């Protein structure tokens, strides 16, 4: 970086930085407008036709992107026994799934037809473990419910709310601020309380649990400098937040997931409470619990591999910065 004698960036460097920021903002705006236009166009179609169109288009376009190579490589390493055509089929299915997930935002009010007063009524949504949701809602204590980027995971807090369980969902906003604003406004309408993942969020979550509230967390993303764990037998870094919150608050932890079914139907499942690993002193073992979360998610992904985001660089290991030696 060009600097003046005082160590500050030169005027030319400042101009270059401002120009770069403006170009990046313009790029985000263009992409955001294109995404909104695509969603508006899809909204003019009936839900089933719109979802099918998004799926078909993404299966063609997805393989043309650089992220497709990342997905194929991750799949190859996760499933060494599968042939190249099998890997390619899963990857294309993943792109179709991701496109459906995006399109489902605009049809969520139409797609979510579960009636808590008539849980046996057959519709697009079926809930396995409704009695568990009801029991948790009645308990006067905090809970953590975790999930992964599988199926339409956005429907889980909607289902919980319909059964009387208030959950504050932690989410990571898209990098594009224009898309992030749209996603956040859409989520707020249907999903209740939301908390963006940013600096200091652990204190906000802890406060909710202190007050006897419930939180929902996604646990399948890479976390720079996180706990050293494995996923599909490969080393990765896992966010220790959930494990640390469970350790500090001694609250129950429940796995929940969404499974995409044929015919634009969805199965929402909440499983039994996890028996968290403990240290010799009896406290929650943070590293072992982080590994347990990975094991649960891996089990889910192995059942429906095309419904997980293989293009994510889950296994990238961030190098820890070297400490400078004191002279």
pLDDT digits (tens, 9 = 90+) for 136-185: 999 989 999 999 999 999 899 999 999 999 898 876 655 555 555 655 55
Mean pLDDT of 68-79: 97
Q: For residue 26, what are the contacts with CB-CB under 8 A and spacing of at least 6? A: none
pLDDT of 319 reads: 67
HSE-CB of 55 using CA atoms within 13 angstroms: 17
Q: Which segments within 85-183 are labelled E, that is strand?
A: 125-128, 143-147, 168-171
Residue 260's DSSP bridge partners are 266
In this predicted structure, the answer to whether residue 324 has a pLDDT above a threshold of 90 is no
pLDDT for 4: 53
Mean pLDDT value of segment 223-252: 95
Would residue 212 be called left, alpha or beta, if left means φ above 0 and alpha means ψ between -120 and 50 degrees? left
Q: pLDDT band for 325, please (50, 70, 90 cuts).
A: very low
Classify the phi-psi angles of 264: left when phi > 0, otherwise alpha if psi is within -120 to 50, otherwise beta: left
pTM above 0.75, yes or no: yes
Share of the chain above pLDDT 90, in %: 62
């Amino acid at each position: 970086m060009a600097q003046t004698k005082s160590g500050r960036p030169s005027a030319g460097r400042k101009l270059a930085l401002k120009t770069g920021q403006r170009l990046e903002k313009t790029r985000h705006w263009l992409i955001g407008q294109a995404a909104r236009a695509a969603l508006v166009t899809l909204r003019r179609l009936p839900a089933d036709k719109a979802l099918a169109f998004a799926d078909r288009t993404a299966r063609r376009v997805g393989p043309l992107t650089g992220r497709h190579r990342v997905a194929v490589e991750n799949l190859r390493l996760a499933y060494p026994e599968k042939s190249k055509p099998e890997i390619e089929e899963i990857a294309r299915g993943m792109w179709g799934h991701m496109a459906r997930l995006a399109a489902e935002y605009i049809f969520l009010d139409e797609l979510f037809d579960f009636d808590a007063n008539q849980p046996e009524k057959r519709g697009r949504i079926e809930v396995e473990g409704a009695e568990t949701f009801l029991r948790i809602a009645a308990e006067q204590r905090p809970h953590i419910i975790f999930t992964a980027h599988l199926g339409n995971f956005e429907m889980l807090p909607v289902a919980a709310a319909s059964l009387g369980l208030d959950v504050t969902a932690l989410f990571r906003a898209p990098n594009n601020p224009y898309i992030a604003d749209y996603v956040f406004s859409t989520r707020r309408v249907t999903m209740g309380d939301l908390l963006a993942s940013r600096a200091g969020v652990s204190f906000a979550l802890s406060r909710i649990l202190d007050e006897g509230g419930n939180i929902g967390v996604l646990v399948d993303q890479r976390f720079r400098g996180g706990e050293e764990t494995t996923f599909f037998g490969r080393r990765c870094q896992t966010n220790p937040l959930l494990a640390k919150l469970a350790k500090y608050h001694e609250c129950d932890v429940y796995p929940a997931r969404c499974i995409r079914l044929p015919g634009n139907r969805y199965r929402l499942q909440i499983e039994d409470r996890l028996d968290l690993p403990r240290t010799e002193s009896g406290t929650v073992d943070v590293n072992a619990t982080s590994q347990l979360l990975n094991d649960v998610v891996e089990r889910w992904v192995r059942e429906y591999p095309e419904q997980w985001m293989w293009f994510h660089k889950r296994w990238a290991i961030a190098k820890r910065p070297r400490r400078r030696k004191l002279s």
